[in-house]
Amino acid sequence: MITAGCDVGSLTSKAVIMKDNRILAQDVIRSRTKPAESAVAVMDYALQKAGIILADINFCVGTGYGKDRIPFVQQAVSEISCHARGARWLLPTVKTVIDIGGQDCKAMRIDKDGKIVKFITNDKCASGTGRFLEVMARLINVSLDDLGELSAQAKAPITMANACTVWAQADVIQHLNDGVAAEDIGAGINNAMASRMAVLANNIGLERDLCMTGGVAKNAGVVSALEKLLGMTIKRIKKVDPQLVGAVGAALIAGDKMERRTAS
Amino acid sequence: MIVAGCDVGSLTAKAVIMEEGNILAWEILRAGTKPALSAQEVMDKALQTASLSIDQIAWCVGTGYGRKQIPFANGEESEIACHGRGAVWAAPSVRTIVDIGGQDAKAIKVDARGNVIRYLYNDKCASGTGRFLEIMADALGIALDDMGELARNAKDPVTLSNQCVVFAETEIISLVNEGRNIADIIAGLNRALANRAASMVGSIIAEAEVAMTGGVAKNAGMFHALETALGVTVRKIDHPQLNGAIGAALFARDATAARS
């Protein structure tokens, strides 16, 4: 049985193809303006890698911001469910998941059976979402991927006076003008990001083990700052790119649906 | 007795020179990075207009974001107090003031003498402040001052689904790409900002009459949008952007009266 998950986010689109609980192929692309186009493109790449065609997929689940516009899926499932399912499969001891997307931030708690007990989402304010880091990275002329490493070299991280992305930009410009080193600004940015995430995470009540999904989980600066703020180790997802967890979850849920279908 | 008020905001610096309750001269300048220099510059220009020197000012009160750095001020007052005082001086029936500044927004409830009873203040989130319109004007490639006029031609104002400045900016760019009319977009932006202001006004349990102060009040589209959002007529005052500086000058007059 071959299943697939397609996660169309605001910034990136992800596709994962699975066979019998194993990942066959995966891909990540930058999202295009139309979610349907992004979905088709990323799934085509993944299919090519797997050496199969769309008709070989028994069941495909779509998720993410563009989930309702994916032409080839059998079902759309919420990101919360997909991230919880994916994280649980990758790290079976996980009870709390923090997912940072390009335009939102979510924290969810799951019970021992993988059921979602509580969750909270912020998609109203750019601060605390991937967008905050994106804007800040551009401002200090560092690629998003390098921001994590940059902060490791910081000696005296700046403290951001403002949470709002707009005001924080003014803070950063002020520090740049004052000649503050890029790594100290970068660390300040990562710390600010972590402190917003901590508010959200504390809101749902943390339970061990804790993990982080989404692209920001690859930023070591944010992860370690968040660990300090929460006083808890964040389990690293190593089997796949943390950005792919939603798509993995979608592919697993596709498998669950198939099983239920064949059972009935 | 000649007194002065100087309001150094984040975007503009304002100076007002008054004598016996009359405005002798005023000036508004774009604020630079150093509040002290902006204050000096704007006061010098106002003094020139009034053909006065700084020694002839009996008392000067500073207000605004940069009020602690005004070298020639004899005292300082909060912006809230100054806006309350200024608005009631301009229109004695005013009891509620909506002030949208470049980096903040306030809703102020005052008594008949302009004393502040209650207020709400937002400087934490750029949405709901003048910065919102500034960023959107930039994104649309139009001048901030033209927004009021441009909104006049709106037929079907857009409804923004985002409140956050960062997300709303992306949203209006896609609206432009979809071919939506610029006038309709601007009217939608005015409406969004007005709704934010109206919710602050609702929280302080506003009383009639309502006046709007700050530079944004000069934007006719915004003025109209606020009336719609509040469902009441908003009182027009003569110098909305100078209101804080006028209030400061009135406090300066009180100070001289108390001393003599």
pLDDT at A4: 98
Q: Which of A10, A164, A173 to mutate to test the interface with B (most CBs of B within 10 A)?
A: A164
Please report the sign of the dihedral spanned by the C-alpha atoms of residue A240, residue A242, residue A243, residue A246. positive
The CA distance from A217 to the nearest CA of chain B, in Å, is 22
Which residues in chain A are contacts of B177 at CB distance < 8 A? 33
Return mean pLDDT, chain B.
Answer: 94
Mean pLDDT along residues A108-130: 93
Per-residue pLDDT band at B32 (split at 50, 70, 90):
confident
Predicted local confidence at residue A185, as pLDDT: 96
Residue B11's pLDDT band (cuts 50, 70, 90) = confident
| Best CA proximity match to B182, nearest among B217, B162, B157, B159 | B157
Per-residue pLDDT for A164 more than 90?
yes
Question: Given a cut of 80, is residue A88 above it in pLDDT?
Answer: yes
| Facing residue for B163 by CB, picked from A124, A131, A135 | A124
pLDDT given at position A246: 97
pLDDT band at A112 (very low <50, low <70, confident <90, very high): confident
What pLDDT, on the 0 to 100 scale, is given for residue A114? 84
Residues 6+ apart with CB under 8 A from A177: none
- At residue B231, does pLDDT exceed 90? yes
From the CA of B120, how many Å to the nearest CA of chain A? 18
Q: Given CB atoms, is A199 within the 8 Å cutoff of chain B?
A: no
Mean pLDDT computed over every residue of chain A: 94
In this prediction, residue A260 carries a pLDDT of 86
Mean pLDDT of B174-185: 94
| ipTM of the modeled complex | 0.87
Q: How confident is the model at residue B158 (pLDDT cuts 50, 70, 90)?
A: very high
pLDDT band at A33 (very low <50, low <70, confident <90, very high): confident
Mean pLDDT value of segment B41-52: 97
Cα distance from A10 to chain B (closest Cα, Å)? 11
Residue B260 pLDDT greater than 80, yes or no: no
Which pLDDT score is estimated for A207?
94
Question: For every residue of chain A, which 3-state class applies, written as one string?
Answer: CEEEEEEECCCEEEEEEEECCEEEEEEEEECCCCHHHHHHHHHHHHHHHHCCCHHHCCEEEEECCCHHHCCCCCEECCHHHHHHHHHHHHCCCCCEEEEECCCCEEEEEECCCCCEEEEEEECCCCCCCHHHHHHHHHHCCCCHHHHHHHHHCCCCCCCCCCCCHHHHHHHHHHHHHCCCCHHHHHHHHHHHHHHHHHHHHHHHCCCCCEEEECHHHHCHHHHHHHHHHHCCCEECCCCCCHHHHHHHHHHHHHHHHHHHHHHC
pLDDT of residue B216: 87
Instruction: Please work out, in degrees rounded to the nearest 5, the angle formed at the alpha carbon of residue A200 by the alpha carbons of A197 and A203.
Output: 145
Query: Over 80: is that where the pLDDT of A264 sits?
Result: no
Chain B residue at shortest CA distance from A132: B166
* pLDDT for the residue numbered B44: 97
pTM: 0.88
Average pLDDT of the segment spanning A176-184 = 94
* Mean local confidence (pLDDT), B158-172: 95
Q: Which residue has the higher pLDDT, A113 or B43?
A: B43
State the pLDDT at residue A168: 95
Report the distance separating Cα B210 and Cα B197, nearest Å: 12
Tokens (6 digits) for B106: 């306030």
Using a pLDDT cut of 70, give the percent of chain A over it.
100
CA nearest A131 in B: which residue? B166
Phi then psi dihedrals of residue A255, to 5 deg? -65, -45
**Which residues of chain B are within 8 Å of residue A126 when distances are taken between CB atoms?**
164-167
Set of chain B residues whose Cβ sits within 8 Å of the Cβ of A162: 124
Domains of chain A (ranges; CATH) run: 1-91+239-264 (3.30.420.40), 93-236 (3.30.420.40)
The 10s digit of each residue's pLDDT in A93-108 is: 999 999 998 899 999 9
Task: Report the pLDDT value the prediction gives residue B161, as an integer from 0 to 100.
Answer: 93
Neighbours of A115 (CB within 10 A): 11
What is the pLDDT at residue A116? 95
Q: What is the pLDDT of residues B97-117, one digit of tens each?
A: 999 988 999 999 999 999 999
pLDDT at position A259 is 87
CB-based contacts of A72, cutoff 8 Å, min separation 6? A6, A39, A40, A43, A54, A60
Q: In what order do the strands lie in the sheet with A22-30?
A: A22-30, A12-19, A2-8, A59-63, A75-76
Q: Report, as an integer, the average pLDDT of A110-121.
A: 92
Smallest Cβ distance to B166: which of A162, A163, A166? A166
B69-97, pLDDT tens digit by residue?
999 999 999 999 999 999 999 999 999 99
So what's the pLDDT on residue A58? 96
CA distances for B122 relative to A86, B64, B84, B100, angstroms = 40, 14, 17, 10
For B32-43, what is the mean pLDDT? 94
Give the tens place of pLDDT for each residue, B110-144: 999 999 999 999 999 999 999 999 999 999 999 98
Tens digits of per-residue pLDDT, A7-16? 999 889 999 9
CB contact under 8 A, A164 and B126: yes
Predicted pLDDT at A3 = 97
Query: In 3D, which of A22, A127, A120, A16 has the Cα closest to residue A62?
Result: A16
| Among B164, B174, B177, beta carbon nearest to A124 | B164
Task: Specify the amino acid at residue B247.
Answer: G
B215 pLDDT more than 90: no
pLDDT of residue A147: 92
